Amino acid sequence: MLNYEELISLTDNEETGIAKGYSISHLRQLYLSKEKYESLFARDLKMFEEIQTGLLSISEAREGDWVEYEDSKFARIASLHGGPSFQLSNKIGVYVSEGGCSQASGCVWDSDLDHIERSRLTTENLIQAGDVKKALCWTFSEGNAGGNRGVWFDIDFKVWNLNK
């Protein structure tokens, strides 16, 4: 089993960056060897890869996707209102899970973006750009919900252009 210093070193030196997305207190509670921690990281990386594939295969806009609302200015879809309207924010957390599910939480109203005319923020005005852009999201480690079991990681999300 790794002691605290060894766990911190492993977290700091893990090459993909996923280890930095875990709660250290959760990792410490697992009492695993270095090999078992590395296996956990690999399983969760595979899960994120599968989630990313699912999200990118969906043809409509999802919470967490990027929108280029002005030249080289991007924000994420923070809320889809069931109808055609949506909100943008760069102050959200995005939960993802298998099957292409994504759900934003946090500040869905972003005062830095309040200059965008609300009537433009409809799904009918979105055009798929054909690009992807990395963004931070989270899910439960190994798909098992529970306190401190969340893990954060950057995956690709679709980019949409907002008609002017």
Per-residue model confidence (pLDDT) at position 4: 92
**Stated pTM of the model:** 0.92
- DSSP letter string over 30-50? H---HHHHHHHHHHHHHHHHH
What is the maximum span of the chain, computed from C-alpha positions, in angstroms?
Answer: 57
Residue among 162, 143, 157 at smallest CA distance from 58 = 157
Residue 22 is classified by DSSP as: B
Q: What is the pLDDT of residue 64?
A: 97
pLDDT tens, position by position, 144-162: 999 899 999 999 999 999 9
Tell me the pLDDT tens digit for each residue of 64-106.
999 999 999 999 999 997 779 999 999 999 999 998 899 999 8
Which domain covers residue 17, as residue numbers?
A: 4-162
List the beta strands (DSSP E) in 64-149.
66-70, 73-80, 86-89, 92-97, 101-106, 126-140
C-alpha distances in angstroms, 109 versus 64, 91, 141?
14, 8, 29
Instruction: State both tokens at 32.
Output: 């695993």
How many domains are contained in the chain?
A: 1
Helix 34-57 vs helix 4-13: crossing angle, to nearest 10: 40
